[in-house]
Structure 1
Amino acid sequence: MNNSSKEAKTVEGLTVCIVGVGLISGSFALALRDKGLAKHIIGVSRTEKSANRAIELGIIDEALPLLEAIKKSDFIYVAIPVDTTIPIMQTIMDTITEQQFVADAGSTKLALCEALQNHPMRHRFVATHPMWGTEYSGPEAAVRDAFKGRACVICEKEKSDKDIVDAIETIYKTLGMNIIYMDAAAHDMHAAYVSHISHITSFALANTVLEKEKEDDAIFALAGGGFESTVRLAKSSASMWAPIFMQNRDNVLDVLNEHITQLRKFKSALEKENLEFLEELMHNANKINRILK
């Protein structure tokens, strides 16, 4: 339940726990430090190697087991594969107090929001998705000023206490992000169309080229900017993206079916040597210029 009586949460000098020390969480930690929002950052990682590397890179100040990290933190930020987020988040919510607050950065929102909807500490959690990423992973992938000018979706705002919604909004806005509000189901549908299908297409195109072009040297020598920009997402982590596709399965299948329909139209135009239809398909696609400059 949204509680408007709580005092505004201070968002400077926080002790922050980041669960996951990879691309998103690492970039988030660097931004918090650069903006003076965090005085101490604790990392929780599956592997000692990643934790040590995050310390070496100045992303975190120390690494601790989850429960120890939670108890020392004001703010817990979870950015791990979505299939492991729900059980980890349930542990976090079982552990936190009314003085702490939690946010996640997952690319799917509905499954997590449904899993936590009846938790007695649900009001201390804000479901978010900063719409930024690259094809790289691990602590080394973290970059500064990653979120500036990007959108951040906040879901089910009304189920979180006002003081922590205000705090999360302030943090993301300080990082240069634009806030968008959606319900969790709408978020997952739109994410399937603007993000998830791009990754599936890239994985499929990479597999197509690898299957048909047997000479690695030829791919390297002839691949131009268009191919590189289209297929670069195929370098993304399978352990991160496979759970996203599965958790958002219905929406991804819907957009994938439409994508296949569009590919068949191009195939038909070529098979029938229908230049007019082929140009019509491309002219229609050019309308994206109205949205993406």
Structure 2
Amino acid sequence: MILTVIGIGLIGGSIAKELKQKKFCNKVIGVDSSINHQKIALNNKIVDEIYSFKQAVQMSDIILISIPVDNTSKVLKEVLDLVDKQIVFDVGSIKEKVIQHVNAHPKRKNFVATHPIAGTEFSGPEAAHIGLFKGKINIICNKEESSKEAVEKISELYHILGMENIYMNAQDHDIHSAYVSHISHISSFCLALSVMDKEKDEKNILNMAGSGFESTVRLAKSNKEMWTPIFTENKSNILAVLNDYIEKLNSFKSAIKEDDYEKLNDLILQANGIKKILN
């Protein structure tokens, strides 16, 4: 089986590397606009060969699209225009717009919309590694719009990576992504900006930063090429989440300003409820 990876970064590269090791495919072809990414992917044996977009699609059995979400819809349509029986899947964290873009495509059933919930703050093929997906969740969206064979093959692929597949409609997926993932990154970016602004006057602040700060701000190292498109493509959901988040921040601000211990205790106790979900 031949796998083509369009976009050889952390996610695409890690999938390719592990599927090769586990013999799911016997060849991986890479497609990437960056010459540097091509060289790293070849040198690190993430891919076996680099081909042009059209050649790679035509030679493959499965095509993975792992590129920034603002370009996924366009590239997906171009891939579907070229396929015959090949299976196509993407890994982006925005699903509704992508699916809508190809709803009427005659090869729509060849496409499976997926979102593996895995990653790090690092990016590029040099960050790709085996084990990234083990024990994590993969979401398959609108599976009834894909062929049974395509869903089964992509589900098998993710099981081989050590993931559990769950199913969701695209609209719900994008709302949940905004609340659970996208707002976390915005919070981290904002905290990093606030601390760096403050550090101009108080240079010792980072010396006092403990593990809590480090874990909260870790996501601020994330790649702008990935996250700026996510924020703009999931705009309506993220704005709704931000309004709610800002309301909660203002509740804390008001309670602190007014020395309202009871209100602060109540807010913290409510937030502690997350332990029941995460434990």
Normalised-by-shorter TM-score class = over 0.9
Matches within 5 A, 1:42-81: 42-81=29-68
Mark the CA change 1:215 to 1:52 in structure 2 (over 3 Å): closer, same or farther. Answer: farther
Which residue of structure 1 aligns with residue 119 of structure 2? 133
Q: CA deviation at 1:28?
A: 0.5
Which residue of 262, 266, 274 corresponds with 1:280? 266
Which residue of structure 1 aligns with residue 182 of structure 2? 196
Mark the CA change 1:217 to 1:59 in structure 2 (over 3 Å): closer, same or farther. Answer: farther
Which residue of structure 2 aligns with residue 252 of structure 1? 238
SS of 1:234's partner is: helix
Mark the CA change 1:92 to 1:267 in structure 2 (over 3 Å): closer, same or farther. Answer: same
Which residue of 89, 95, 101 corresponds with 2:87? 101
Task: Give the Cα–Cα distance (whole angstroms) in 2 for the partners of residues 275 and 219 of structure 1.
Answer: 27
Q: CA deviation at 1:217?
A: 5.4
Q: CA deviation at 1:22?
A: 0.5
Task: Give the Cα–Cα distance (whole angstroms) in 2 for the partners of residues 138 and 148 of structure 1.
Answer: 20
Which residue of structure 2 aligns with residue 112 of structure 1? 98
Counting aligned pairs with the same residue, the percent is 46
Task: Give the Cα–Cα distance (whole angstroms) in 1 for the partners of residues 23 and 13 of structure 2.
Answer: 15
SS of 1:38's partner is: coil
Which residue of structure 1 aligns with residue 200 of structure 2? 214
Taking structure 1 as the reference length, what is the TM-score of the superposition? 0.93
Q: CA deviation at 1:215?
A: 6.1
Taking structure 2 as the reference length, what is the TM-score of the superposition? 0.98
Task: Give the Cα–Cα distance (whole angstroms) in 1 for the partners of residues 126 and 181 of structure 2.
Answer: 23
Which residue of 156, 161, 176 corresponds with 2:162? 176
Per-residue deviation, residues 252-291 of structure 1 (Å, max 9, x unmatched): 0111111001000110111001111111111111111101
Task: Give the Cα–Cα distance (whole angstroms) in 1 for the partners of residues 88 and 177 of structure 2.
Answer: 22
Q: CA deviation at 1:222?
A: 2.1
Which stretches of structure 1, 4 residues or more, deviate above 4 A after TM superposition? none
Q: CA deviation at 1:216?
A: 8.6
Which residue of structure 2 aligns with residue 32 of structure 1? 19
Per-residue deviation, residues 217-245 of structure 1 (Å, max 9, x unmatched): 52442221111100110110111111111
Could you tell me which runs of 5 or more consecutive residues in structure 2 were left unpaired when the two chains were aligned.
none
Mark the CA change 1:48 to 1:264 in structure 2 (over 3 Å): closer, same or farther. Answer: same
Task: Give the Cα–Cα distance (whole angstroms) in 2 for the partners of residues 152 and 218 of structure 1.
Answer: 42
Per-residue deviation, residues 109-168 of structure 1 (Å, max 9, x unmatched): 000000000001001000000011111100111111111111111011011111111001
Which residue of structure 1 aligns with residue 3 of structure 2? 16
2:79 pairs with 1:92: yes
Could you tell me which runs of 5 or more consecutive residues in structure 1 were left unpaired when the two chains were aligned.
1-13
Per-residue deviation, residues 56-88 of structure 1 (Å, max 9, x unmatched): 111111111111111111100011000111111
2:259 pairs with 1:289: no
Mark the CA change 1:216 to 1:88 in structure 2 (over 3 Å): closer, same or farther. Answer: farther
Matches within 5 A, 1:238-249: 238-249=224-235
SS of 1:291's partner is: helix
Letter in 2 for 1:106: G
Per-residue deviation, residues 23-68 of structure 1 (Å, max 9, x unmatched): 1001111111121101000111111111110111111111111111
SS of 1:147's partner is: coil
Letter in 1 for 2:196: L
Letter in 1 for 2:121: E
Task: Give the Cα–Cα distance (whole angstroms) in 2 for the partners of residues 163 and 196 of structure 1.
Answer: 32
Per-residue deviation, residues 144-203 of structure 1 (Å, max 9, x unmatched): 111111111101101111111100111111211111111110100011111000001111
Mark the CA change 1:217 to 1:271 in structure 2 (over 3 Å): closer, same or farther. Answer: closer
Q: What root-mean-square deviation, in Å, do the aligned CA atoms of Structure 1 and Structure 2 show?
A: 1.1
Structure showing greater relative contact order (alpha-carbon pairs closer than 8 Å, 6 or more residues apart): 1
